[in-house]
Structure 1
């Protein structure tokens, strides 16, 4: 059976860089990118070309940031899609290698973050499940001192991105991927959860703020609809992909108000603190 020809549009480093500039990406700014490579079309040069186009649009002096999460470094009892047999759980907890920012691959966030993570000069934060990688002059400032018990809160790169005036670029990705919304979860009443993971000296359990992206698509829709005329979510096309560009600080501030209205109050959460939600171990190549 013959392989069907590729579908377009044909996208190159140059066309992407030009479209990013047209969208409003500025030289010297700091950009947090959530992406779907497959949504762009037929990319000449694949993820390397996309990273180069982003760096071209940010040059000179800009900083590129991506999530490089490793949620599979978690309790196998909570894995889904696929799950593993219960009789394997103890062995997995004992044998799972601990997080190493230099070698542990990202999972479930797409091929572009993995390309950035392995790029010469890239720096990566220290959290064993929710790390970020960055390229550029502000990389160390953004990813340094990511607390091991603060996935996406005040002691994470998200808070630094907010303080630095960074913007979010959703590149073929929806609001469900927008990690900036998680920072708001640390600022509204949220339950704590017990998080199991491999540690430097064996299996460890830490207490963390509960986070969930379950309603982020709805949150993002309302955020985009309610933006004031002077600060809209900028929308455009990069190749075949729909792109959205907006400040981290705007997204966090809106999410704080939205979550306070749409999430249960603290006293409604079950006690004692529940275990973490299931971890979807879907295709990491998206």
Structure 2
């Protein structure tokens, strides 16, 4: 049933696919959901296929640097059980980006991730996925972690990811050529909760495929088609991917291309900080 569901999402032998998942949503699997999903993917994709995942790790404020926090390829991912299972899979390849790494398993894993290091943007491997006419699937996280990573790539290509007040303010220590150095991240992935706004567009254009993977509602799409639609929409409105939550710092308070929301957000945030300060003083 799992492989049939993956086929319904559009996957086939030899494909390259980026998969994101909330594996617990697949239902009772005796704690083996991530393993079962990877096994199903690799069986379906075959020896010429490649499965990719996001293996992000923490970024820290530059004003609170901790020399004990040094990124290495063995640093545990903070992006859930699937990423952890993929990273520990025999033959897995992990990119060398200190905060926004990818992990891949399969025929083209090394080629797709080899140059993703501290000199490249966060979602650089997505370029390789497009070149390979790759696909993307979401398993069980259609609402909780919505949208596809091609939106981030379109934002990178349009120069939006670096238009942030946080540019260079977060990063981590990492080791290079035997030396420990500070990596300052220049591009900002930002909030992705607004990526669900593209769902209706995918459906209207007939791009989206749906299936149940276990008990998890899942969707799939061709990466090139998704990227073309997303980029066209962002070219018309650079704020199209921002969420609608007025309290969202990642959408309302950091982007230079969305300054219209700054006064209302920062005025409210300033009041909140003052209230919290007085509350702390009274408690103390």
Same fold (TM over 0.5): yes
| Equivalences for residues 1-286 of structure 1 within 5 A | 15-44=1-30, 45-70=32-57, 72-75=58-61, 89=64, 93-96=66-69, 98-101=70-73, 103-107=74-78, 109-153=79-123, 156-174=124-142, 176=146, 178-190=148-160, 191=163, 193-194=167-168, 195-200=170-175, 201-202=179-180, 204-206=182-184, 208-227=186-205, 229=206, 232-263=207-238, 268=257
TM-score (norm 1): 0.73
SS in 1 for 2:41: helix
What is the CA deviation profile of residues 213-255 of structure 1, one whole-angstrom value per residue up to 9, with x for unaligned ones? 345333332432332x4xx211111111111111111222222
1:186 is displaced (CA, Å) by 1.2
Q: Deviations over 1:67-110 (max 9, x none)?
A: 1111x142287xxxxxxxxxxx35xx2321x2211x11100x22
CA gap of 1:23–1:189, structure 2 versus 1, over 3 A, is: closer
Aligned residues: 234
Kindly tell me: are residues 162 and 120 of structure 1, through their superposed partners in 2, closer, same or farther at Cα, counting changes over 3 Å?
same
Q: 1:138 to 1:217 in 2, by over 3 A?
A: same
Q: SS in structure 1 opposite 2:146?
A: helix
SS of the residue aligned with 2:34?
helix
User: What is the deviation of 1:258?
Assistant: 2.0
- Report the TM-score, using the length of structure 2 for normalisation: 0.74
CA distance 1:24–1:268, change in 2 (3 Å): closer
More deviation in 127-136 or 210-219?
Answer: 210-219
Instruction: List alignment gaps of at least 5 residues for structure 2.
Output: 241-254, 260-284
Instruction: Quote how far apart the aligned CAs of 1:148 are.
Output: 0.9
- The structure whose RCO (Cα within 8 Å, separation 6+) is larger is 1
The answer on whether the counterparts of 1:69 and 1:129 sit within 8 Å (CA) in structure 2 is yes
How far apart in 1 are the matches of 2:257 and 2:6? 44
1:205 CA drift (Å): 4.9
Partner deviation per Cα, 1:20-58 (whole Å, 9 max, x = no partner): 224331011111100011111112533212211111111
Q: Is the 8 A contact 1:29 1:58 kept in 2?
A: yes
CA displacement 1:256-280 (0-9 Å, x = unmatched): 122233335997467xxxxxxxxxx
Q: 1:123: how far off? A: 0.5
**Greater per-residue helix proportion:** 2
Q: How far apart in 2 are the matches of 1:269 and 1:203?
A: 33
> In structure 1, the residue corresponding to 2:157 is in which secondary structure?
coil
Answer whether contact 1:152 1:158 (CA < 8 A) is retained: no
